[in-house]
């Protein structure tokens, strides 16, 4: 809306959803408001669908924890998770290690910056998962594109799903968010341009990452450090603030995992993780975040 030469620039938020196996844990009896079995993952999906049904006047994108191209035979004909640009099946990492280690190509599970560890050795299985996949780039009015990942059904390639099948690469996922915002992902995938670089209102728009997770780091990284890095995201030599919000899904306040998530939020300039035991809690947490990341009047 224009007002005296000003335009309202809604915030741009990247939702990073934990798809590790622990998200399959039950969150209660019966089904949630969407009719899904009560699990942590399904509560997150239901919360997103509920919010999208009412409309969200902000820019949103979706990422999930990385899954490799390598797949076991029994899963190849089942629910194949797809990225925005094609199919990438979830499966066993074991068959992926050898081709990556010998310089072969295992789809994009061999990230250029993860091809070897610090000692120059081939990557461990955990390293192959130490990233996120941006499956829906940030845009306004793209709720339908995100919602199709949250209906608990999968009919590849037209109806992908946030399937639960991975490690918990918190640091790697935040690192992917940083590479997405600063434009390094675009160098590998032209369909993922930086949400900042060509934004005419980048000088005043607010940017953030929203991590929805139930766990602690399992790939050996430092997610709090990555959250701090996001606060000084460099695009064309200019530093932009990208805050990191955390929604702690299904965790009691006194758990080690909850403390780790609190540390990520603190490092990301959002104080502490927002607790969410049910889909209603996730909904409240997301609306809380949306209220904090308000539209800015830009000229």
Give the CATH number, domain containing residue 294.
3.40.50.410
The four Cα atoms 140, 145, 148, 149 give a dihedral, to 10 degrees, of -90
Residue 148 lies inside a defined structural domain of this protein? yes
- Mean pLDDT of all residues in 79-102: 33
Q: What is the pLDDT of residue 152?
A: 87
For Cα atoms 79, 51, 284, give the angle at the middle one, nearest 5 degrees: 110
* Three-class DSSP category at 237: coil
Domain of 294, in residue numbers? 7-69+130-298
Q: What is the pLDDT of residue 68?
A: 55
Largest CA distance in the chain: 61
Cβ neighbour number for residue 241 with a 10 Å cutoff: 13
pLDDT of residue 88 exceeding 70, the answer is no
Q: What is the pLDDT of residue 42?
A: 96
Mean pLDDT computed over every residue of the chain: 80
Q: What is the pLDDT of residue 200?
A: 93
Residue 27 lies inside a defined structural domain of this protein? yes
Q: Is 44 exposed, middle or buried (0-12, 13-18, 19+ CB in 10 A)?
A: buried
Residue 271 lies inside a defined structural domain of this protein? yes
Residue 222 lies inside a defined structural domain of this protein? yes
How far is the C-alpha of 186 from the C-alpha of 180, rounded, in Å?
A: 7
- Tens of pLDDT, residue by residue over 208-232, are 999 999 988 988 889 999 999 999 9
Number of structural domains found in the chain: 1
Q: What is the pLDDT of residue 123?
A: 44
Q: What is the pLDDT of residue 164?
A: 86
- Mean pLDDT of all residues in 86-106: 34
Percent of the chain exceeding pLDDT 90 equals 55
- Residue of 79, 90, 176 lying closest to 133 (CA atoms): 176
Residue 91 lies inside a defined structural domain of this protein? no
Which comes out higher in pLDDT, residue 286 or 3? 286
- Mean pLDDT of all residues in 183-205: 91
- Tens of pLDDT, residue by residue over 34-85, are 999 999 999 999 999 999 988 888 999 999 988 754 332 223 223 333 332 2
Residue 164 lies inside a defined structural domain of this protein? yes
Residues 6+ apart with CB under 8 A from 18: 41, 44, 65, 168, 211, 212, 213, 214, 215, 249
pLDDT band at 254 (very low <50, low <70, confident <90, very high): confident
């Amino acid at each position: 809306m224009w007002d005296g030469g000003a335009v309202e620039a809604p915030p741009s938020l990247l939702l990073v959803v934990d798809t590790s196996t622990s998200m399959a844990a039950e969150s209660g009896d019966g089904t949630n408001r969407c009719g899904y079995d009560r699990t942590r993952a399904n509560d997150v999906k239901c919360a997103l669908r509920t919010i999208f049904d009412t409309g969200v006047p902000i820019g949103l994108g979706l990422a999930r924890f990385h899954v490799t191209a390598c797949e076991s035979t029994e899963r190849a004909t089942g629910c194949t998770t797809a990225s925005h640009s094609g199919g990438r099946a979830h499966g066993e990492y074991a068959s992926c290690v050898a081709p990556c280690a010998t310089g072969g190509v295992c789809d994009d599970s061999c990230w250029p910056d993860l091809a070897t560890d610090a000692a120059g050795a081939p990557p461990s299985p955990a390293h192959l998962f130490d990233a996120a996949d941006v499956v829906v780039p940030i845009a306004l009015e793209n709720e339908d594109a995100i919602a199709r990942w949250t209906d608990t059904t999968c009919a590849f390639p037209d109806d992908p799903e946030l399937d639960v099948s991975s490690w918990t690469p918190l640091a790697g996922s935040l690192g992917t968010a940083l590479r997405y915002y600063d434009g390094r992902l675009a160098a590998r995938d032209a369909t993922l341009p930086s949400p900042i670089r060509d934004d005419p209102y980048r000088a005043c728009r607010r940017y953030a990452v929203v991590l929805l997770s139930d766990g602690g780091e399992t790939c050996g990284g430092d997610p709090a450090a990555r959250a701090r890095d996001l606060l000084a995201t460099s695009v064309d030599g200019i530093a932009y603030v990208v805050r990191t919000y955390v929604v702690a899904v299904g965790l009691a306040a006194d758990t080690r995992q909850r403390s780790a998530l609190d540390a990520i939020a603190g490092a990301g300039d959002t104080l502490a993780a927002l607790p969410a035991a049910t889909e209603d809690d996730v909904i409240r947490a997301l609306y809380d975040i949306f209220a904090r990341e308000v539209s800015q009047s830009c000229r």
